[in-house]
Amino acid sequence: EPEVTQTPSHQVTQMGQEVILRCVPISNHLYFYWYRQILGQKVEFLVSFYNNEISEKSEIFDDQFSVERPDGSNFTLKIRSTKLEDSAMYFCASSAPSHTDTQYFGPGTRLTVL
Amino acid sequence: DAKTTQPPSMDCAEGRAANLPCNHSTISGNEYVYWYRQIHSQGPQYIIHGLKNNETNEMASLIITEDRKSSTLILPHATLRDTAVYYCIVRASNTGNQFYFGTGTSLTVIP
């Protein structure tokens, strides 16, 4: 069964450094998403992406964040200058264009900012 | 999107049916009911969704009341691996829109 994959599974970085989190969505999906979950808190939406542009973003997704689909298979989330409060699990999801838009999530990347 | 209310926690004996309720009294006519679960800190896993008819798949059954103001997710024979946080989400079927995850129901399956 096709699934969303994410790399790395765990990323440790120093405050102020740039990180890139990578995702490979399900191959025939056209909509891509990033969510995050700070330890012990809810899963929060960051951004959705379709047709090479952002379709929706939350207030969390500020100028420090960017997304890109650099090729036909990868979808990336870049955090330009990490802060301690960026430490969280980051989940990528994808969905196919359909009337129900079921989103399928990857296993997540645990980002630890020191 | 309509707000949902779920009990914060439930227990279920292994092998028994787990019935997880969800209230969504402000649901609109074009909004679907989705259920996801999250095992420990893994990515949310899709379980099932429905609009107004009851639905069943290999994982679970979804019972939606006739007025659509509440629903119940049924895991017919709970196993220890079903211990997870279960999220009931109500959302219009607009592709590309976000899912709002609440706090869900923490289900513990007891041996």
Rounded to the nearest angstrom, the minimum Cα separation between A18 and chain B is 23
- Within 8 A by CB and 6+ apart from A42, the residues are B101, B102, B103
pLDDT above 70 for B96: no
H/E element, A55: strand A53-57
**B86 vs B73: CA distance, rounded Å:** 9
Quick one: tokens of B65? 């009341």
3-state SS, residue B82: helix
**B50 vs B62: CA distance, rounded Å:** 7
Q: Which amino acid is at A46?
A: L
Supply the pLDDT for residue A99.
Answer: 61
Question: If you write DSSP's letter for every residue of A61-100 in order, what string do you get?
Answer: --TTEEEE--SSS-EEEEESS--GGG-EEEEEEEE-SSSS
pLDDT above 60 for B95: no
Q: Contact B96/A31, CB-based, under 8 Å?
A: yes
- Tell me which chain B residues have a C-beta less than 8 angstroms from the C-beta of A33: 98
Q: Which amino acid is at B70?
A: S
Q: Which residues of chain A have pLDDT under 70?
A: 99-100
- Tell me which chain B residues have a C-beta less than 8 angstroms from the C-beta of A31: 95-96
**A21 vs A11: CA distance, rounded Å:** 9
**A59 vs A26: CA distance, rounded Å:** 27
3-state SS, residue B59: coil
pLDDT in tens, B42-62: 999 999 999 998 999 999 999
pLDDT in tens, A87-112: 999 999 999 877 667 899 999 999 99
